[in-house]
Amino acid sequence: MSATATILDAYCIRAATGTDASVNEAVGALAGKIPLSSIGTSLQDFVASVPQAVAAIDAARGDPDNLYITTSTEGDLDNAVWPGNGSTGTVGSGQTQPLGMTVPVDFVQNVSLWDYDDVSSDDLLGSIRIEESERGQGPIAKLATSAVEGSVYYVTYRVD
Protein backbone atom coordinates (compact mmCIF):
# COMPACT_ATOMS: atom_id res chain seq x y z
CA MET A 1 0.00 0.00 0.00
CA SER A 2 1.41 3.39 -0.96
CA ALA A 3 2.07 6.08 1.56
CA THR A 4 0.22 9.35 1.90
CA ALA A 5 1.80 12.61 2.98
CA THR A 6 -0.25 15.15 4.88
CA ILE A 7 1.29 18.55 4.32
CA LEU A 8 0.47 20.53 7.42
CA ASP A 9 1.75 24.03 6.75
CA ALA A 10 4.35 26.27 5.15
CA TYR A 11 6.18 28.74 7.38
CA CYS A 12 7.64 31.68 5.44
CA ILE A 13 10.93 32.83 6.92
CA ARG A 14 11.53 35.18 4.00
CA ALA A 15 9.16 35.92 1.14
CA ALA A 16 10.56 36.22 -2.38
CA THR A 17 12.16 39.50 -3.33
CA GLY A 18 9.82 41.89 -5.07
CA THR A 19 12.36 42.54 -7.78
CA ASP A 20 13.33 39.95 -10.36
CA ALA A 21 16.97 39.10 -11.02
CA SER A 22 16.68 40.77 -14.44
CA VAL A 23 15.56 44.00 -12.74
CA ASN A 24 18.48 43.80 -10.33
CA GLU A 25 20.85 43.31 -13.29
CA ALA A 26 19.31 46.25 -15.14
CA VAL A 27 19.69 48.51 -12.10
CA GLY A 28 23.27 47.30 -11.71
CA ALA A 29 23.99 48.22 -15.33
CA LEU A 30 22.88 51.82 -14.78
CA ALA A 31 26.39 52.90 -13.74
CA GLY A 32 27.53 52.57 -17.34
CA LYS A 33 24.64 54.63 -18.65
CA ILE A 34 24.58 57.60 -16.27
CA PRO A 35 26.94 60.57 -16.63
CA LEU A 36 29.14 60.75 -13.54
CA SER A 37 28.31 64.43 -13.07
CA SER A 38 24.65 63.50 -12.56
CA ILE A 39 25.10 60.99 -9.73
CA GLY A 40 26.57 63.43 -7.19
CA THR A 41 29.04 60.90 -5.77
CA SER A 42 32.02 58.84 -6.85
CA LEU A 43 31.48 55.99 -9.26
CA GLN A 44 32.66 53.52 -6.62
CA ASP A 45 30.15 54.80 -4.06
CA PHE A 46 27.34 54.72 -6.62
CA VAL A 47 28.07 51.16 -7.74
CA ALA A 48 28.43 49.98 -4.12
CA SER A 49 25.06 51.50 -3.23
CA VAL A 50 23.03 49.83 -6.01
CA PRO A 51 22.57 46.42 -4.30
CA GLN A 52 21.75 48.18 -1.03
CA ALA A 53 19.16 50.35 -2.77
CA VAL A 54 17.49 47.34 -4.41
CA ALA A 55 17.40 45.52 -1.04
CA ALA A 56 15.98 48.61 0.71
CA ILE A 57 13.25 49.03 -1.92
CA ASP A 58 12.35 45.36 -1.63
CA ALA A 59 12.28 45.44 2.20
CA ALA A 60 10.17 48.60 2.23
CA ARG A 61 7.64 47.05 -0.12
CA GLY A 62 7.40 43.83 1.89
CA ASP A 63 5.33 42.17 -0.81
CA PRO A 64 3.87 38.83 0.28
CA ASP A 65 4.06 35.76 -1.92
CA ASN A 66 0.96 34.66 -3.85
CA LEU A 67 1.55 31.04 -2.91
CA TYR A 68 0.38 27.92 -4.70
CA ILE A 69 1.75 24.38 -4.61
CA THR A 70 2.37 21.78 -7.30
CA THR A 71 3.66 18.22 -7.17
CA SER A 72 5.77 18.79 -10.27
CA THR A 73 8.73 21.01 -11.01
CA GLU A 74 6.68 22.98 -13.53
CA GLY A 75 4.96 26.12 -12.32
CA ASP A 76 1.42 26.56 -13.59
CA LEU A 77 -1.52 27.71 -11.51
CA ASP A 78 -3.72 25.27 -13.44
CA ASN A 79 -1.63 22.38 -12.04
CA ALA A 80 -1.83 23.55 -8.43
CA VAL A 81 -2.73 20.94 -5.84
CA TRP A 82 -3.19 23.74 -3.28
CA PRO A 83 -5.26 25.84 -2.89
CA GLY A 84 -6.82 24.91 -6.24
CA ASN A 85 -9.54 26.51 -8.36
CA GLY A 86 -7.04 28.97 -9.86
CA SER A 87 -6.52 30.79 -6.57
CA THR A 88 -3.50 31.46 -4.35
CA GLY A 89 -2.79 31.97 -0.68
CA THR A 90 -1.08 35.13 0.53
CA VAL A 91 1.85 34.66 2.88
CA GLY A 92 4.56 37.07 3.98
CA SER A 93 7.77 36.80 5.94
CA GLY A 94 7.17 35.46 9.44
CA GLN A 95 3.74 34.03 8.59
CA THR A 96 2.49 30.45 8.52
CA GLN A 97 0.11 29.25 5.80
CA PRO A 98 -1.97 26.27 7.01
CA LEU A 99 -2.27 23.73 4.18
CA GLY A 100 -3.95 20.54 5.42
CA MET A 101 -3.59 18.74 2.11
CA THR A 102 -2.63 15.18 1.24
CA VAL A 103 -0.61 13.77 -1.64
CA PRO A 104 0.27 10.17 -2.52
CA VAL A 105 3.89 9.17 -2.05
CA ASP A 106 5.22 6.32 -4.18
CA PHE A 107 8.90 6.19 -3.24
CA VAL A 108 9.48 9.99 -3.61
CA GLN A 109 7.11 12.91 -4.11
CA ASN A 110 8.19 16.41 -5.10
CA VAL A 111 6.34 19.37 -3.59
CA SER A 112 7.10 22.79 -5.12
CA LEU A 113 6.09 26.19 -3.77
CA TRP A 114 5.36 28.89 -6.35
CA ASP A 115 4.69 32.62 -6.36
CA TYR A 116 2.03 33.51 -8.92
CA ASP A 117 2.89 36.51 -11.12
CA ASP A 118 0.26 37.91 -13.44
CA VAL A 119 2.79 40.03 -15.36
CA SER A 120 5.67 37.56 -15.81
CA SER A 121 6.28 33.84 -15.38
CA ASP A 122 5.65 32.39 -11.93
CA ASP A 123 8.60 32.16 -9.53
CA LEU A 124 9.78 28.94 -7.93
CA LEU A 125 10.07 29.65 -4.19
CA GLY A 126 11.59 26.25 -3.38
CA SER A 127 10.92 22.52 -3.41
CA ILE A 128 11.12 19.60 -1.03
CA ARG A 129 11.25 15.85 -1.53
CA ILE A 130 8.94 13.71 0.55
CA GLU A 131 10.09 10.10 0.81
CA GLU A 132 7.99 7.02 1.45
CA SER A 133 10.73 5.84 3.85
CA GLU A 134 9.73 8.72 6.18
CA ARG A 135 6.48 6.91 6.99
CA GLY A 136 5.69 6.86 10.71
CA GLN A 137 8.41 9.36 11.70
CA GLY A 138 5.88 11.96 12.84
CA PRO A 139 5.95 15.58 11.74
CA ILE A 140 8.98 16.53 9.64
CA ALA A 141 10.00 20.03 8.58
CA LYS A 142 12.10 20.54 5.45
CA LEU A 143 13.61 23.69 4.10
CA ALA A 144 12.51 24.94 0.66
CA THR A 145 14.60 27.80 -0.70
CA SER A 146 15.37 29.71 -3.85
CA ALA A 147 18.64 31.59 -4.17
CA VAL A 148 17.27 33.42 -7.22
CA GLU A 149 14.11 34.63 -5.47
CA GLY A 150 15.65 34.96 -2.00
CA SER A 151 12.77 32.96 -0.50
CA VAL A 152 13.07 30.67 2.52
CA TYR A 153 10.24 28.39 3.71
CA TYR A 154 9.86 25.45 6.06
CA VAL A 155 7.27 22.91 4.92
CA THR A 156 5.93 20.65 7.67
CA TYR A 157 4.39 17.26 6.84
CA ARG A 158 4.00 13.69 8.00
CA VAL A 159 3.93 10.47 6.01
CA ASP A 160 1.38 7.79 6.92
Structural domains in the chain, CATH included, are 3-17+63-159 (2.60.40.1110), 21-61 (no CATH)
Per-residue pLDDT of the chain (160 residues; tens, 9 = 90+): 789 999 999 999 888 876 555 554 554 455 444 445 555 665 556 555 555 555 554 554 568 999 999 998 888 899 999 998 889 999 998 899 999 999 999 999 999 999 998 887 899 999 999 999 999 998 999 999 998 888 899 999 999 9
Confirm if 129 and 110 have CB atoms less than 8 A apart: yes
What is the identity of the amino acid at 27? Answer: V
Where do the DSSP E strands lie in 23-137? 65-70, 89-91, 96-105, 108-115, 123-131
Whether the full predicted model's pTM is greater than 0.85, yes or no, is: no
